[in-house]
Amino acid sequence: AQKVTQAQTEISVVEKEDVTLDCVYETRDTTYYLFWYKQPPSGELVFLIRRNSFDEQNEISGRYSWNFQKSTSSFNFTITASQVVDSAVYFCALSEALKNQFYFGTGTSLTVIP
Amino acid sequence: KAGVTQTPRYLIKTRGQQVTLSCSPISGHRSVSWYQQTPGQGLQFLFEYFSETQRNKGNFPGRFSGRQFSNSRSEMNVSTLELGDSALYLCASSAGLANEQFFGPGTRLTVL
């Protein structure tokens, strides 16, 4: 069975601090996809990144970076120099290769204090 | 390109009633998925439609149903509403299998 665990329920950081959001997943599939989404207070889920199981390269996009480690089944997300606008709930999700069914973690609520 | 749109944005119903929610996907996207989001259960997959056919289904009772039209627009119906059906219902569209899904703003359903 597929499962995504985001152990951090809530995180608070002061502006300009770096913060890492953890994501651990379980799957028996050899081919799968991992995603991160941001849900600001407005409620709409915003796509951040998609990563397939064969690509373990870390990715950086501006202040955002992602660390995918298959050996530990983790796909962590780091925000560098956090800003107030980063305050949101962040979801990690897993998808099987042949389905459009996402398994979401329970989310991490990030508050960036000015 | 216009994003995923959902109507209505807010709904208030009473127990026992039924409700229909609508979703228009991003132009060119043929896959539409529905999710229920509640504080207690988080985001849970309801079902996915592709080319007017239900391709995947989550673990929800038969009161939850959906359909997709030839223009890829989708509707979700919940019959005999229960208090526990109060939730944010999110629709997402994607271009293909395991592609990123783009979400609409959701319909906030309150059952009294």
User: Can you give the pLDDT at residue B23?
Assistant: 98
Judged by CB atoms closer than 8 Å, whether chains meet at A101 and B33 is answered as yes
Beta-carbon separation of B98 and A103 below 8 A? no
Give the mean pLDDT of chain B.
94
- Decide: helix, strand or coil at residue A72: helix
Cis? peptide before B105, omega within 30° of 0 = no
Place of tokens 């509707």: B75
Q: Answer whether B24's CB lies under 8 Å from B4's CB.
A: yes
Closest by alpha carbon to A39, among A112, A110, A114? Answer: A110
User: Quick one: pLDDT at residue A59?
Assistant: 86
Instruction: Kindly indicate the confidence band of residue A49, based on its pLDDT and cuts at 50, 70 and 90.
Output: very high
CA distance A28 to chain B (A): 16
User: At B99, is the pLDDT very low, low, confident or very high (cuts 50, 70, 90)?
Assistant: confident
Q: Residue A100 pLDDT > 80, yes or no? A: no
Number of A–B residue contacts, CB under 8 Å: 67
- Within 8 A of B105 by CB-CB distance, chain A residues are 42-44
> Region A20-30: what's the mean pLDDT?
95
pLDDT at position B12 over 90: yes
Task: Find all residues with CB under 8 Å of B12, minimum gap 6, and list them.
Answer: B110, B112
Looking at chain B, the number of H-run helices and the number of E-run strands are 0, 11
Query: In B, which residues are within 8 Å of A99 by CB distance?
Result: 48, 55-56, 97-98
Q: What is the DSSP string of B60-92?
A: --TTEEEEE-TTS-EEEEE-S--GGG-EEEEEE
Q: Phi and psi dihedrals of A56, rounded to 5? A: -95, 10
A64 Cβ under 8 Å from any chain B Cβ: no
Which range, of A21-25, A92-96, B18-22, averages the lowest pLDDT? A92-96
* Residue A84 phi, psi (nearest 5): -60, -35
